[in-house]
Chain A
Amino acid sequence: MAKLAQTMFEKVWRQHEVSAETADTPAVLYIDLHLIHEVTSPQAFSVLRERGLPVRRVDRTLATMDHSTPTRTEQIFGGAPISIESAARQVRELETNCAQFGVELLGLRHNQRGIVHIIGPELGITQPGKTVVCGDSHTSTHGALGALAFGIGTTEVGHVLATQCLLQRKARTLALNVSGRLRPGVTAKDLILAIIGKIGVGGGTGYVIEYRGETIRGLDMDERMTICNMSIEAGARAGMIAPDETTYRYLAGRPRAPQGAAWERAVEQWRQLPTDDGAKFDKEVDIDASTLEPMITYGTNPGMVIPISASIPTRANDAAFSKSLAYMGFEAGAPIKDQPVNVVFVGSCTNGRISDLRSAANVLRGRKIAKGVQMLVIPGSQQVKKEAEAEGLHQVFIDAGAEWRESGCSMCLGMNGDLVPKGQYSVSTSNRNFEGRQGIGARTLLASPLTAAASAVRGRVTDPRELLS
């Protein structure tokens, strides 16, 4: 009998079933890699302590700190205290928990520290076919390597610490077929924003997305990670991209990737992962990438997005829409281009990788950011920082008038005090433009690193193609 054609998601799911789901009980799903950070783990460690439980597999658990950590060099390396006392306490608590439970921690001064979703792939510990979880919704990023990766809450962090397993119902599958070549100046960020604009912020709820098609195959790993990262912004807990030669080239030789004969065996297994011909998805959506422009958000969720040359739409009798525009201080029908900008943030798990910094630097090289604009460039990890400095990118940012600091989540959510002042406009390469996300009253416009850098130069929302030669 012919083998049943399966999607990549189904293959990875099956391989990790300790027990399959029934009508009465969810599947017990084995987790290969558990990443933890300071914000969503303390209460989970408390549960282990209360119940006298150890961490079941410390060898499959890796901790770092990123959300509430400072980006000021003196607060990390210079002995200055972390300015927010509760954040400092959280950092200390993760250090204590990791020491007590024997979990490896890439701590505050470690040269491999960084945003949890940047360092997993960077270290080569995120691999095709693995199940990866973390108490953070942007865990979907790791799916770019062909892993099944999704965010969980703190109770589930406790479940994985104690049992290396989760109780899960199988998600439905959504194929997102992307065709056509992206035009110059249009990036992976613009593509994922366009996808969210098309399917909506709840369009992926209940689904695992597989991004497919020639356009996806043509993206490098950093770009694929940007795509999968924002799956959650469409409501999908996980996004996946089938591994291919691009994936293997990226992983080969990374510190925690398999080496030698083990590498050969691993690649052999990874080649079995892509969705079989004829496999059925629960839903399919097609996108033509060739007509896309740089995209930018105008409202307070990532689905409120338009091409940069377009005007802010008009929607009558929609209270949420009107509230959103009022919060943003925008008028329906007005062009988004040339809206004034006060702050520009380049960084985050969406766009804090080396190629993102290169993009921003390409626009900024030999230019100055506009008077009155504050621009923050935050590398996604200490390794990204080192690489950028070796290439001299930091000097491009500093010469342009931007600030260059240590890695972390920073102004994406402002937990560490890197905030956008009330009422100010921020063009940000991060993933969420929710009310107050970057600070109370902050107005966030999500865009690519190219658009962010171009907008910093002009001090107004700018189509980066006007500045690219």
Chain B
Amino acid sequence: MKPVQTFTSRTVILPLSNIDTDQIIPARFLTTTTREGLGSSLFADWRYESHGAPKSDFILNRPEAQGCRILVAGHNFGCGSSREHAPWALLDYGFQAVISTEIADIFRNNSLKNGFLPIVVDEATSDWLLANPGVEVTVNVEDTTLALPNGTRVKFPLEAFSRYCLLNGVDELGFLLDRRPQIEAYERQRQI
């Protein structure tokens, strides 16, 4: 995983609540056996007509959304299936973070393991961001803040170990493999 420290981007808004992982990437794209190239399937059923042409009224297809790396979404983003293809698709498309008032557990875990930031904010911050699409926001992982163009800085929760892994590009598998002596001791003690 590449280190993620700070980044600045304009936002793109998907104000709906309960955007589930079936919307982020529909199941028919899950027969892949690699993690690459899923960006073209991101929000596929909202983004394309049935014959494959982009839907001109969907936000990601509009000129002002191009190049935006921060998605602002309604409450409870990423609910549903455990498919890691969801953060893979968001990252491959070019997103680096999602901001919502609630982010589903499994999606949040999967995101952090891939360097995609799930950012939970209070309702007032969320309301302001939803009401001001396209503003430039700076995400700072070091001090876990969002800097908004109105001058406010908002703290967001980030579990300490995930923050450490993001900042240093540490891969959790390496960390777990280093714990092999403890794992062996545990197995011996339980005689398993």
The reply on B45 being an interface residue by CB < 8 A is yes
Interface segment among A270-278, A330-338, A434-442, A457-465: the answer is A434-442
Please indicate the chain A residues that have their CB under 8 angstroms from the CB of B23 in the complex: 434-436
For window 45-100 of B, CB contacts with A under 8 Å fall at 45, 50, 74-76, 79-84
| Chain A residues with a Cβ under 8 A of chain B | 18-19, 23-26, 28, 30, 32, 39-40, 42-43, 46-47, 51, 53, 67-68, 84, 86-87, 89-90, 93, 135-137, 151-156, 158-159, 162-165, 167, 169, 201-202, 205-206, 232, 235, 237, 301, 303, 319-320, 323, 413-415, 422, 432, 434-437, 440
Cβ < 8 Å to A, chain B residues 10-41: 15-18, 20, 22-23, 26-28, 30-35
Additional A-B contact list (18), CB under 8 Å, known A30-B190, A53-B177: A24-B160, A25-B160, A28-B176, A28-B182, A42-B33, A47-B173, A136-B81, A137-B80, A159-B173, A162-B176, A201-B76, A202-B75, A206-B105, A237-B105, A415-B31, A434-B22, A434-B80, A440-B45
- In Å, the complex CA distance between A415 and B27 comes to 6
Q: Which residues of A contact B75 (CB under 8 A)?
A: 202
Q: Are B31 and A68 in contact (CB under 8 A)?
A: yes
Kindly state whether residue B114 has any CB partner on chain A within 8 Å: yes
A437 and B22 contact, CB distance less than 8 A:
yes
Interchain CB contact (< 8 A) of B84 among A86, A87, A155: A155
A26 and B158 alpha carbons, distance in the complex (Å): 13
For the complex of A and B, list the 4 residue pairs with the smallest distance between their C-beta atoms, beginning with the closest.
A153-B110, A86-B31, A153-B84, A42-B33
Q: Are B179 and A163 in contact (CB under 8 A)?
A: yes
- In the bound complex, what is the Cα–Cα distance between A434 and B45 (angstroms)? 12
Instruction: Provide the bound-state CA to CA distance between A303 and B18, in Å.
Output: 10
Measured in the bound complex, the distance between the Cα atoms of B79 and A170 in whole Å is 20
21 A/B residue pairs, CB under 8 Å, sorted by A: A24-B161, A46-B33, A137-B106, A153-B82, A153-B109, A155-B113, A155-B114, A162-B176, A167-B161, A167-B172, A202-B102, A205-B102, A320-B17, A415-B27, A432-B20, A432-B22, A434-B80, A435-B45, A436-B45, A437-B22, A440-B50
A28 B31 Cβ-Cβ under 8 A: no
Residues of A within 8 A of B27 (CB): 413-415, 437
Mark B residues whose CB is within 8 Å of A. 15-18, 20, 22-23, 26-28, 30-35, 45, 50, 74-76, 79-84, 102, 104-106, 109-110, 113-114, 159-161, 164, 172-173, 175-177, 179-180, 182-183, 186-187, 190, 192
B31 and A84 form a contact (CB under 8 A)? yes
How far apart are the CA atoms of A161 and B34 in the complex, in Å? 17
Query: In the complex the two chains form, is A414's CB within 8 Å of B183's CB?
Result: no
Do the beta carbons of A43 and B34 come within 8 Å of each other?
Answer: yes
Question: A154 to B35, alpha carbons, bound, how many Å?
Answer: 10
B18, A202: Cβ atoms closer than 8 Å: yes
A19 neighbours in B (Cβ, 8 Å): 179, 182
Among residues of A, the one whose C-beta sits closest to the C-beta of B15 is: A319
Contact of B109 among A46, A84, A136, A156 (CB under 8 A): A156
